[in-house]
Structure 1
Amino acid sequence: MIELVIEQRRRNLGGGIEVGRVLPFAKRRMVGPFIFFDHMGPLDLAPGVDRNLDVRPHPHIGLSTVTYLFSGEVMHRDSLGSEQAIRPQEVNWMTAGRGITHSERFERARMQGDHLHGIQAWVALPTEHEEIAPSFSHHAGSDLPQWSDVGVHGQLIAGSAYGLTAGAETHSPLFYAHLDMEPGATAEIPGGYAERAVYVATGAVELDGPRYDAGKMLVLGSAASRVRALERSAVMVLGGEPIGERFIHWNFVSSSKDRLAQAAADWKAGRMKLPDADDAEFIPLPEEPAPSAPAMS
């Protein structure tokens, strides 16, 4: 049963990059541990694209970022020394823990042009893991199990579902998968989790009767359900167990407002290390009066 339909809201990130913001949403701050969900593109980038389009170094705490592309390439660099391009059907999984900084740059686009399309999600860490050491991992091939059914090709991005487990280290029960669906094909939405959602990235689907077009997230309960593609569709299925109240301040996530204030002060004072190969510039702390409303799952 569908509990809520969330439609993406367009957000300009500056430099010409526009995304569809899905989570957090006023009536639904989280789905399981997923606290942030942005749909990037689709966007055509011409050769020689301006560097102002890049996402300059910026900080995170208390979460894991999950970057997944349908097309295009993004270069990731972070304060641990990681330098890793991400390409379609691969995953960059960065756990911020007590603090990390990173940049995301469109270097291939500058050289030859590109077609950018993907999803960036944030997974909030459970309280006992909020201050763990930061880490980064890149996953492709056997780390991202694939399967095929009648008219459906699936790839598990993170967690456990469909009898499979992906390679990224997660810190609470969750699942996240990409379903490439042919017209008329149906697919099961993984059960066994308290909170689940379906996001239509491209195409259109039917669930419990009505049609839902691209840009909509359908928030579900735990009851068994299936989704049917009305045309060729890219569908993201995700969910997990609730981890409790979370607050967001800019790029920081925490169960404590005081910790958010400390992270903001650390960034403003230059106490968070920048990526070694990318430390000539950074995004300053925005002028925000206070952390946003709590994120509740």
Structure 2
Amino acid sequence: MIELVIQSRRRSLGGFEVGRVLPFARRRIVGPYIFFDRMGPADFAPGLPESADVLPHPHIGLSTITYLFEGEIMHRDSVGSEQPIRPGEVNWMTAGSGITHSERFERARAEGGPMDGIQAWVALPDGREEVDPAFWHYGTDELPAFDEGGVGGRLIAGSLDGVRSPAAVDSPQFYVHWQLRPGARASLPAEYPERAVYVASGAVEVDGQRVEPGSMAVLSPGKSATIHALDDAVVMALGGEPVGERYIDWNFVSSSKERILQARADWAAGRMKLPDLDDREFIPLPPRLGAAPEPAS
């Protein structure tokens, strides 16, 4: 049964628009998933201006998960990583006590082409919020894949129905990409108390209720759900165990308002190291606290 349907809202990151789903006024977090942006779909012409890039910016208290349907993004961070991500791969960055990174559309700038994907943030649980920052990349051959009964896809993170992803999760959760052919049905078990289904494309019914593309259906606990594709569809399902109350301010997530104040002060004072291979410029600290300034993703 569906508790709530969240429609994505268009947001500008300066040179690139996204469809923001989480956080939402009536539902801030699903399991540990506190942020969910659809990047695209877009079609870039060669010569894309650099203003479309996401300049170096900081995070604390979370992990970012980048997953693409189309295109390529170059990731650089303050632990020394430089990693392009392509469709079906996962860039997993744990901020913990603090990390900075940039995301640049270098291939699209040179060649043009499509861009479409999801960036999600996972709030770290109590006792793990201040872990050392780290970065992992998982190729398409490393993620569990499935293709049966008209349902294909990959398990991006966590575990679901006895299958486990190698991604470095810090709390019980799941995150899956399903591709459904017309008439196919996927079953989402009730093994986690908080779950949601995002429809990236296609006509889909969740437990008999139609959910439009660009929308997320938050599910009631305790009962398995059925996703029925009325035509070709792409669906992302996610959720897990709750991590407790979390505050989000700009790109910072924490169980402590004081910790967020400290992170803001550290960024404003230049105490957070910039990415090793991208340290010429950065996003300045937004001027307001508590006014939900747009995250840089």
TM over 0.5: yes
- 1:260, 1:291 within 8 Å by CA — same for their partners in 2? no
Farther off after superposition, 168-177 or 202-211? 202-211
CA offsets 1:184-205 (integer angstroms, 9 cap, x no match): 1100113210000000001120
Q: CA RMSD in A?
A: 1.2
Task: Give the match's secondary structure for 1:264.
Answer: helix
Residue in 2 aligned with 1:193? 192
For 2:242 and 2:210, how far apart are their aligned partners in 1?
28
Q: 1:112 aligns to what? A: 111
Query: Secondary structure of the equivalent of 2:227?
Result: strand
Partner of 1:44: 43
Query: Is the contact between residue 249 and residue 289 of structure 2 (CA under 8 Å) also seen in structure 1?
Result: no
Q: Return 5+ residue gaps in structure 1 as ranges.
A: 293-297
> 1:178 and 1:190 mapped to 2: Cα distance?
15
The answer to whether the 8 Å contact 2:63/2:94 transfers is yes
The C-alpha deviation readout for 1:250-279, integer Å capped at 9, x for no partner, is: 000000000000000000000000011100
Counterpart in the other structure of 2:12: 12
Distance 1:291 1:128 in 2: 27
Helix, strand or coil for the counterpart of 1:278? coil
Name the counterpart of 2:60: 61
Distance in 2 (CA, whole Å) between partners of 1:221 and 1:189 is 12
Does the Cα contact within 8 Å between 1:257 and 1:291 map onto a contact in 2?
A: no
Indicate yes or no: 2:235 matched with 1:235: yes
The answer to whether the 8 A contact 1:74-1:104 is kept is yes
Deviates most, 111-120 or 203-212: 203-212
- 2:273 corresponds to 1:273: yes
Within 5 A, what are the aligned runs for 1:1-297? 1-15=1-15, 17-222=16-221, 223-290=223-290, 292=292
What TM-score do the two structures reach when normalised by structure 1? 0.96
The one-letter amino acid of 1:78's match is D
CA deviation string 1:120-177 (max 9, x = no partner): 0000000100000000000013421001111110200000013211111111000000
Query: What secondary structure, in the 3-state scheme, does the structure 1 residue paired with 2:208 have?
Result: coil
Q: What does the per-residue CA deviation read over 1:69-114, in whole Å, with 9 as the maximum and x for residues that have no partner?
A: 0000000000011000000000000000000000000000111112
Q: How much does 1:291 deviate?
A: 6.6
**Matched letter for residue 87 of structure 1:** R
Structure 2: 5+ residue stretches without partners:
293-297
In 1, the alpha carbon distance for the partners of 2:273 and 2:153 equals 38
Aligned residue identity for 1:167: P
Aligned equivalents of 1:290, 1:23: Cα separation in 2: 17
| C-alpha displacement of 1:290 | 2.9
The whole-number CA distance in structure 2 between the counterparts of 1:48 and 1:120 is 24
Write the distance in 2 (CA, Å) between the matches of 1:207 and 1:48: 41
Aligned residues: 292
What TM-score, normalized to structure 2? Answer: 0.96
